[in-house]
Amino acid sequence: MHKIYGGILLVLIACFALYNTHIYSDKTLFGKVRLSEQAQHGEQLWLRNNCNACHQLYGLGGYLGPDLTNVVATKSPEIIKIFLVSGVRSMPVFSFSEQEKDQLVQFLKEVNETGYYPNKEATIKNTGWVDLHYKK
Ligand code: HEC
């Protein structure tokens, strides 16, 4: 009887080891995002001006302003540039040059290409069930 338990234990340990080797050596989830030079300058501006204190990327950041992960999908570059220098509500007035505005927009464009946030849409049906759709 004890031999069976030993065998089961060994099988479980083997499964555990295989599973772990697989998930920790799977590179597909950690594909590197390479920003263009223009976008890297934009990222520097993003960091230096603390945009993240009020805005979020992928839900991480401050909550005074909206999440900007996919802002370029809903707002044109022209509108975004106007937001950057006009100080709407609690957003400060920044004095970016035209080049800096382009760099920030390019950064946001390349962020947008990395995925969606939120990546799912939930609708409650009148039966009470929830329909979940994942964006890919
Ligand atoms: C002190 C807080 C604060 C900081 C810092 C800040 N913002 Fe904002 N931002 C806001 C708020 C609040 C809004 C929403 C204004 C509105 O819709 O009336 C906003 C709106 C925006 C919008 C338009 C988003 C949309 O969907 O309407 C963009 C783009 C934007 N900010 C980019 C930036 C960038 C880039 C920086 C850094 C250079 C930055 N913001 C720094 C508070 C901030």
Q: Whose CA is nearest to atom 14 of ligand 1?
A: 65
Does the structural domain 37-112 have CATH classification 1.10.760.10?
yes
pTM of the predicted model as reported, rounded to 2 decimal places = 0.81
User: Which residues, given as ranges, of the chain have pLDDT below 70?
Assistant: 1, 28-31
Mutate to test the pocket of ligand 1, among 45, 49, 50, 55 (most ligand atoms within 8 A of CB): 55
**DSSP class per residue in the chain:** -HHHHHHHHHHHHHHHHHHHHHHHH--GGGPPP---HHHHHHHHHHHHTTGGGT-EETTEE-SSS-B-TTHHHHS-HHHHHHHHHH--TTSPPP---HHHHHHHHHHHHHHHTT--SS-EEEEE-TTS-EEEEE--
Q: How far apart are the CA of 127 and the centre of ligand 1, in A?
A: 39
Q: What is the pLDDT of residue 31?
A: 65
Q: Whose CA is nearest to atom 41 of ligand 1?
A: 51
Question: Domain spans of the chain?
Answer: 37-112
Q: What is the pLDDT of residue 1?
A: 66
